[in-house]
Chain A
């Protein structure tokens, strides 16, 4: 059994209906890596991987990327807050490996 932390990212389509873009997953036993489940070619996912997200929580000037682990996950909900894009809080789940 392994504990995983995950954040879901949603976008609104042109009819104002939410669609999931991706799920960001970090295993507790691999804290330095967040994997992305979803369409890696989606422009928002491409932008996240390429440009990173801002560190709102700790107000550090550097950008955060999936390899930053938990701090990256923690900041997704602050980065994606407009409604057009909206991230969930970190959820915990136990999975069988």
Chain B
């Protein structure tokens, strides 16, 4: 996923398009290039927002369709929650954590071509009510994720 055209340089973590008070340290990552960020919901419950990383967006290129799950669907960590299609290939999207889908991002499904502009905020895909919050501890932090990408880029050369 990390065979970037720039020869494996890891880009700045994210371009803060409309970045509010979100910090890179708020994010956790999977080896399959999803990100997750947890914030308290209206009733104080833990709500996870999930998307895919800039590295994934760059590697997939030319995104054309996305399929997201219905609200209410229960997901286990590591289970596919949808598919994303580029011109050349289709890829599964894996849930980083277990939970129940409470919201999906219809705007990104309608305007998938805008995903590369802001994959970490406006490009979110699903929101989950966490059922196993401890799973967050098993995910990669920003430093570990960027190292993974750098290692994968290295292996491709």
Q: Does B associate with A?
A: no
Q: Which residues of B contact A (CB under 8 A)?
A: none
Task: List A residues at the B interface (Cβ < 8 Å).
Answer: none
